[in-house]
Structure 1
Amino acid sequence: MSYRVLIVTADATDCSGLQDMLLDAADGSFVSERVTHLAMALKRLEGTGIDAVLLDLALPDSVGIATFLAVFAAVPHLPILTLCAPEDEPLALETLRCGAQGYLLKGRFASYLVAQSLSNIIQRKTVEARLLVEQARAETTLNSISDAVIGTDLQGRIDYLNLAAERMTGWTREEARGQPIAQVLQLISGASAAVPSPVDQVLQEDAEVGMAAGTILIRRDGSNVAIEDSAAPIHDPDGQISGAVVVFHDVTAARAMAMKMAYLAQHDFLTKLPNRVLLNDRIAQAISLAERSGNSIALMFLDLDNFKHINDSLGHGAGDKLLQSVALRLAKCVRSSDTVSRNGGDEFVVLLAEGRNMQDASLTAQKILAALAIPHRIDQHELRVTSSIGISVYPADAGSAEALLKNADTAMYHAKEAGRNNYQFFKHDMNVRAVERQVIEHSLWRALERHELVLHYQPKVNLQTGSITGGEALLRWVHPQWGMTLPERFMTVAEECGLIVQIGRWVLREACRQTCLWEAEGIVLPSIAVNVSALEFRHPGFVDGVRSILQETGLAPERLQLEITESVLMRDADASATVLHQLKAMGVQLAIDDFGTGYSSLSYLLKFPIDVLKIDKSFVHAISAAHGNGIIVRAVIAMGASLHYQVVAEGVEDQAQLLFLKTEQCGEGQGFLFGQGLVAMQFATLLLASEASGKAAALAPVD
């Protein structure tokens, strides 16, 4: 490799001597160029390819130290050797102080050492330039990272801060330089106790050190910032420790986020109450404390009554606000040591801490019932809500958090069965019923698969002529162990577990199919009635399901009569009217079942395209009861006649009831007086007998 040297001198003799000296170099590593003026030198140096400058301080257009300064300013990274007469050597020494790498005295260029020294100077300058580049790169890198970096010497005094460290500590590099590390990096623990500088430990042990969790940096302005850091020793080329470096970063946001995530993981997002995770932990702690002290704790499982109606009518926004209002009232009903938790949906759990007894739990339950009953002002609405509460006690009722919750939940369902808006303490026989419910649910899922469900059919009779006008399909379950099982035992469970829609579609399909089978055998049943549950009626696919079953079985729509209870229709009268009109457009007959028990408004009743009113059996039974006068039955019959509805009396069981109904011109009747529910074959026999005699078995009970 050869070095290109620019010789700047107007003296031809000096230039020739310098060029000869460079040419005589042992390795032939120099190529020289010559210019005679400073301006020419500056122009040439604007380009590239020059490795060193030999500069005469006496030029035609510049003399003295100014000559050197002009060249040095142009190329501070190149090695510059100055040329001067021996008597001007002090001037040359001054250039050394200003940045020159050396000087040559005129007339003394002949030494071979000059070329060797120049080669060494160029090499050293090249290395220095590379080091400067690397240092600049390292400086840029350290200033671009988000972590703060502080370097110290062997005495723990600061010799370096990057920009992140300046921002985090509040100290500039110039202000911090030479300061003890503890002066700039003031650390305390989360408990406000002073934390020793990790640098001191590093310098003592010559080993990496990590900072304890929860460390806080006190900034120069007194503000705090949570940090995480590590410190490590710095070694010289001989492997000896020469200082330390500490690297740290701000974790304030990360810790805040971690705390927020931990809070969210343990609290309900809507009410800000503890959720099930935190509740289980607190129950376990409460049980542990109660076990040591011999005291009791109580757990209350609370469910809002008919909350779904509020969501359905006013929307989930109003429902959420009501839940928040309930949460606030519950918190005010208990002590600070107790826990109110939202279990999900409209369910809440209250943990009454150690030392509570049955009386305390009763008083708290009464307080909660009273507090929740006060109207809640939600937007422009004044909402009233009640609750059902189940209570279980440790250790009397259960010995674990899971069992306590389960038993309180069981007691809550008994509170609902007892009429809602009350509380019930857990009793062990409740579990027997809960187990039975579970068995029923499990068996129901298999009942459909194993074809254990069957239909019985009960006749409807024209009270004036005695002829059978139709039949009603009645669901029965032939259980392998229980035998013939009535719907009263399993329908509630079917509704709660979601099977009621599937069962209802099976009933409808089977009733339509059987009616068509009878017709194919020459036995014509004018109409078949099928009861529709609330969940079926509200199901979005109900109307399409009816249409599909009619098409599948081939039954004429006008021969199907769907019976919906008055209470189901009035739950949302407008939505009910829409569904009823869709069914009516299909040609299906529509009946209001259990009429008189649902408090329906006559104006709403007129909106419904109803064909049949079925008088509830309780009113029919009142006809033959002591002091019974049948006034309600008479009124319903009269109303039905005026509105051109077919009126059917349910539950006709004796001749006195029959006589009254015939006298009042009631159209049809149904009940044990005319026949109980029969299997398909028996019902077909009854139909054939009715056709033959023209009457429904002479209006006599059928075995």
Structure 2
Amino acid sequence: MTMTWKTPSRGTGSGLIGKLAQANIDEVAPVDDEVIVVRDDDPASAPVRQRLTAGTLLRVREVTRAEELAALTAGGRTRAVVLCRSGLSLGTLHDAVAVVRQACPDTALIVLDDQAGEARHEVARHAGADGLINLAQDWKVVGEAVLAAAERRARARAVGDAIASRSDTDLLGALEGEWPLALLVVAVNNLETLAGRYAHGDRDALILSLAIRLRPLLRPSDTMARTADRSLVIARNDGDELAIAALADRLLRACREPLVVTEESVPITIAVGIAIGARPAVATGPAAAAVLEKARAALGRLRNRGRAAYELADAALQARVTAQRQTEIALRHAIDEHEFRVFYQPVVELQSRGLTSFEALMRWQRPQVGLFDAASFVEAAQRSGLMTRIGQTILHEAAAEALRWASTGSTPPALSVNLSQQEYLQPTLVAGVDRILAEIGLPPGRLILEVPLKLLERDPLSARSILRDLASLGLTLVADDYDGELTDDLRQLPLRMVKLRMGLLDGIESNAERRARVAGIAAQVRAAGWLCVGKGVETAAQAAILRDLGCYGGQGFLFSGARPAEELDIFQNAAGVWAWAPQPRPVPEV
């Protein structure tokens, strides 16, 4: 039976941002909002990330210097900044808060302090903080405070966005340099009738209430404006139609509950017209104006139908969004009907030919269609928020299979499982892995988790905290797709092994430059005290070169492709020892 685990929902006090964060756990389109922690680089403050992640259910990134904030917040996804410094005097506290506020003037800022006192609260607020919380507070309370501060900031900004209408000329002038540009034009269906029935005819009050409702769903970097036709125009610097469609979905869901306008509850539906434009190759006029015109045309087609919906102006993009929705429906069905299968590919120790581990690789067995490898559906699973649930299913099944590999007198192979980006950033990652191991009874020492190198390099301080939490369970951590220099940040991670990027071994038999590159990487890895495994080993010559360069293991079609569990006994000899031996290749029929 497939098992899934969810973090309990938080209370209703978290507002829309809190509900967005909960949506990550509830398997809807994931939200990439984040909280940035500015903290001391010492083990004592490391638990802040884990606890804030649990308290907010948002991705938490960490920096040690306020100077790094400007670059991180420029991406527009930062909901709040949390300053965590210990032992500060009042004057130093004021200066530290002021520096952070200067780096991110429009972002919610909460201070976590190890001292108490009303004076510290007043000093922090004077320097620009939205609040100060003692570190001794419960982390759910801290999380609620961070989300509430972000919500207040968003709602206050909404008033500025929509209290007065903005001309097209003014709006388009501000957007002309933003490419790629996505514009969403949001209109209330039957606005005149609703305003007359519920809001004393005050259409502007209804639009302002809608703006306050929707603004927390937007990134801080998004533009929102009320235009003369009493619609809201939302602009985002993004050309990904699937991400924009997911945003439109969230806007529609946010309007399922009535608005409160002049103390009356007003049930509304909205229509959203969407257009996306790339930077024009040749400047022939105000390109942003053309994008806005297309978005309004798409809205016009929707308003004639009078229902809650969104539509993209470009038919090809709309078709891609529709295809993504159909794939998402199929993936949900696949989870419920247990259509995912686990195949296993061996990793072989090059010196002894002993079999050290099996990497679990997921496949999708679609009835009446065929077997699909992960590359064909991972992107759709990530976008729909299902990757974490699929990953838990794979780990659960593979861990149960790994228990069967134990045999008397032989060391059983370890189980190696890949972490996707969505799983890696999931607030419940460590607790979920621990729970599955405990339920299945697999010793943590027999589990290897592979994390893509790009995730570790993107945010080294957070990676150190996440991997430290995982390593505390007793499992082995691997940097996957390794191809480059061993930086000081990577050396500080609790890794035991690296796997070379697929394709790095191509031509290594005859290409001296390629061989020298792999030799340099292998030497760096050995110097760090880690093991090195080559992926994509297809020939005996490649395996011999890796062995001579000091690489520990190899994985690839030379040893075996991915096999279902029922075929793994070919790697176990009569004495029950797990090892690799060349298999006779089938002779083609004449």
Q: 1:670 to 1:272 in 2, by over 3 A?
A: closer
Q: Deviations over 1:471-496 (max 9, x none)?
A: 10000110113210111111111111
**Percent identity (aligned):** 26
Structure 1 match to 2:225:
273
Cα distance, 1:507 vs. partner?
Answer: 1.1
Partner of 1:400: 301
Equivalent position of 1:558 in the other structure = 445
Q: Secondary structure at the match of 2:561?
A: coil
What is residue 402 of structure 2 aligned with on the other side?
Answer: 515
Q: Which has the larger radius of gyration?
A: 1
Out of 496, 511, 518, the position equivalent to 1:611 is 496
Change (3 A) 1:600 1:569: farther
Please state whether the residue corresponding to 1:673 is helix, strand or coil.
Answer: coil
Structure 2 CA distance, aligned partners of 1:302 and 1:477?
35
Equivalence map 1:174-573=2 (5 Å) = 258=202, 260-265=204-209, 267=211, 271-274=223-226, 278-279=230-231, 303=238, 364-365=286-287, 400-401=301-302, 406-408=311-313, 426=314, 428=316, 430=317, 432-519=319-406, 525-573=412-460
What letter matches 1:609 in structure 2? P
Alpha-carbon deviation of 1:648? 0.5
1:687 lines up with 2:580 in the alignment: no
- Contact persistence 1:689–1:696 (CA under 8 A): no
Q: Which residue of 2 is the match for residue 576 of structure 1?
A: 463
Structure 1 residue 588: deviation in Å?
0.4
Q: 1:365 & 1:488 partners in 2: Cα distance?
A: 36
Classify the secondary structure of the residue corresponding to 1:618.
Answer: coil
Residue 524 of structure 1: how far off its partner (Å): 5.1
User: How has the CA–CA distance of structure 1 residues 367 and 702 changed in structure 2, closer, same or farther, with 3 Å as cutoff?
Assistant: farther
Distance 1:275 1:637, change over 3 A: farther
Give the whole-Å Cα distance in 2 for the aligned partners of 1:519 and 1:561.
Answer: 16
SS, match of residue 518 in structure 1: coil
TM-score by length of 1: 0.43
The question of 1:696 aligning with 2:585 is answered: no
Q: Give the length in aligned residue pairs.
A: 349
Which whole-Å CA distance do the structure 2 matches of 1:276 and 1:569 have between them? 47
Deviations 1:348-382, CA, capped at 9 Å, x for gaps = 96699xxxxx99998645899xxxxxxxxxxxxxx
Which residue type is aligned with residue 446 of structure 2?
R
| Structure 1 pair 700–630 and aligned structure 2 pair: CA distance change class (3 A) | farther
Q: Which runs of 5+ in 1 are unaligned?
A: 1-253, 283-298, 309-342, 353-357, 369-388, 409-425
CA deviation string 1:498-544 (max 9, x = no partner): 11111111111111110102326987532110001111111111111
- Provide the rounded CA distance (Å) in 1 between the counterparts of 2:495 and 2:276: 51
Distance 1:364 1:608, change over 3 A: farther
**1:474–1:677 Cα contact (<8 Å) kept:** yes
Does structure 2 conserve the Cα–Cα contact (< 8 Å) formed by 1:303 and 1:348? no
1:606 Cα deviation after fit: 1.4
Q: 1:267 to 1:547 in 2, by over 3 A?
A: closer
Residues 300 and 580 (structure 1 numbering): CA distance in 2 closer, same or farther, change over 3 Å? closer
Tell me the residue number matched to 2:94: none
Q: Distance in 2 between matches of 1:607 and 1:456?
A: 33
Q: 1:394 to 1:677 in 2, by over 3 A?
A: same
Question: Which residue in 1 is equivalent to 2:529?
Answer: 644
Partner of 2:518: 633
**Aligned pair in 2 of structure 1 residues 505, 275: CA closer, same or farther (>3 Å)?**
farther
SS class of match (1:657): helix
Distance verdict in 2 for CA 1:608–1:451, change over 3 Å: same
| 8 A Cα contact 1:561 1:589, kept in partner | yes
Match of 1:104 in 2: none
How far did 1:700 drift? Answer: 7.5
Matched to 1:643, the amino acid is A
After superposition, the CA RMSD in angstroms is: 4.4
SS, match of residue 568 in structure 1: helix
Higher relative contact order (CA 8 A, sep 6+): 2
Letter matched to residue 613 of structure 1: V
Taking the aligned partners of 1:517 and 1:277, their CA distance within structure 2 comes to 67
Match of 1:656, as an amino acid? A
Distance 2:465 2:274 in 1: 39
Q: 1:554 to 1:478 in 2, by over 3 A?
A: same
- Flag the 1:434–1:362 CA change in 2: closer, same or farther, 3 A: farther
> Contact 1:267 / 1:278 at 8 angstroms: preserved in 2?
no
Instruction: Output the CA distance in 1 between the equivalents of 2:319 and 2:510.
Output: 37
Q: 1:610 offset after TM fit, Å?
A: 0.3
- Name the amino acid aligned to 2:301: S
Kept in 2, the 8 Å contact 1:674–1:700? The answer is no
Decide whether aligned partners of structure 1 residues 637 and 272 sit closer, same or farther in structure 2, where only a CA change above 3 A counts. closer
* Structure 2 gap segments, 5+ residues each: 1-197, 244-269
Measure the CA separation in 1 of the matches of 2:285 and 2:574.
64
Amino acid at match of 2:498: L
CA contact (8 A) 1:592 1:614 kept: yes
Residue pair 1:611, 1:645 contacting (<8 A) in 2 also: yes
Shift of 1:646: 0.9
Tell whether the 8 Å contact from 2:275 to 2:295 is kept in structure 1 after alignment. Answer: no
Deviation at 1:400, TM superposition (A): 2.1
* 1:274 to partner: Cα distance: 3.0
The answer to whether residue 476 in structure 2 is matched with residue 589 in structure 1 is yes
CA distance in 2, matches of 1:300, 1:481: 43
Contact preservation (8 Å) 1:617, 1:652: no
Query: Match of 1:437, SS?
Result: helix
Matches within 5 A, 1:133-212: none
Q: Which amino acid aligns with 1:655?
A: A
The alignment's TM-score, normalised by the length of structure 2, stands at 0.51
Q: 1:695 & 1:630 partners in 2: Cα distance?
A: 27
Matches of 2:485 and 2:208 in 1, distance apart? 46
- 1:276 and 1:611 map into 2 onto residues whose CA distance is 61
Query: Partners of 1:449 and 1:687 in 2: how far apart?
Result: 32
1:392 Cα shift?
Answer: 5.9
Aligned residue in 2 for 1:670: 555
- Asked if 1 retains the 8 angstrom alpha-carbon contact of 2:571 and 2:579, the reply is no
Q: How many Å separate the matches in 2 of 1:619 and 1:513? A: 33
Q: 2:261: which partner in 1?
A: none
Match of 1:118 in 2: none
Change (3 A) 1:572 1:691: farther
